Amino acid sequence: MASYSLILSNASDYVKTGLIDHWKRWIVLIVISIIQLITLNLVPLASGYLVRVYGTPGDTAPELDEYGRLFIDGWKMNIVTILYLIPAIIIAVAFGAIGVLSLIAGFLAEGKIVEISGLLIGSLGILVAFLVFLLISLIMNMAFIHFSRSGRLLDAFSVGAITSRISDGIGWGGYIVMWVIVWVLMSVLFLILSGLSLIPIIGWLAAFILTPLWSVFIAKINANVYDNIS
């Protein structure tokens, strides 16, 4: 049985001791996160640091240095993300195209049934793509850690080994519950940032300051799930 409180508290302590207590590291992470945002993820130094977090077991956050290495690791994460999301994108595009063509055909033929069919197909496609995206995301989160630990990019696509790691560890049920908890926390954070955004400049500053903490927090949660701490 997964100890959700332990997973969360361990990740929280990790962020506190690794970033808040080491505020200079936190500031640098804020800066490289802004750089990654401005460059549209083409300079993924912040993602590279997350790969370092994934690949460093234990309760001590790794140093933020060797930026060339961070850049390479960040691009590894980009590649893994793109390749994992291709199936969901294909499904969304395929169903979307069918839905649009059905709508056009119904409009030209003035057939309400065809138009309704197009809407249903498009809606079904969005739902299926969303469900596929959720499943892929669950596996992809563990894939990041799997390749980070071995240092081999291809290990990110060892789906059998990754799914076995989940099944034999926290279990799929426990893993899904853990992510439901994370989504609830994420919603709370979003509401807080949305409220702060009503105050000029403060909202942007809060987002820039808190986002790196949240990213490392989530990364450590994933690492704890992978390591099946209890």
Asked, for residue 75, whether it belongs to a domain, the answer is yes
Look at residue 188 in the predicted model and tell me its pLDDT: 92
Asked, for residue 126, whether it belongs to a domain, the answer is no
The model's pLDDT over 111-130, given as tens digits with 9 standing for 90+, comes to 566 556 666 766 777 777 78
Asked, for residue 170, whether it belongs to a domain, the answer is yes
Q: Is the pLDDT of residue 223 over 80?
A: yes
Print the domain residue range for 217: 4-84+144-227
Asked, for residue 121, whether it belongs to a domain, the answer is no
159/97: higher pLDDT: 159
Q: Which residues of 118-133 are buried (b: 16+ CB within 10 A; e: fewer)?
A: beebbeebeeebeebb
Asked, for residue 102, whether it belongs to a domain, the answer is no
Look at residue 229 in the predicted model and tell me its pLDDT: 73
Count the domains in the chain: 1
- Lowest average pLDDT, out of 30-39, 130-139, 150-159, goes to 130-139
The model's pLDDT over 17-51, given as tens digits with 9 standing for 90+, comes to 999 999 999 999 999 999 999 999 999 999 999 99
Q: Is the pLDDT of residue 110 over 60?
A: no
Look at residue 111 in the predicted model and tell me its pLDDT: 53
Look at residue 175 in the predicted model and tell me its pLDDT: 94
- The dihedrals phi and psi of 151, each to the nearest 5 degrees, come to 85, 0
64/95: higher pLDDT: 64
Asked, for residue 45, whether it belongs to a domain, the answer is yes
The model's pLDDT over 81-96, given as tens digits with 9 standing for 90+, comes to 999 999 878 877 776 6
Asked, for residue 119, whether it belongs to a domain, the answer is no
Task: Give the chain's mean pLDDT.
Answer: 88
Asked, for residue 14, whether it belongs to a domain, the answer is yes
Categorize the per-residue pLDDT at 196 as very low, low, confident or very high, splitting at 50, 70 and 90: confident
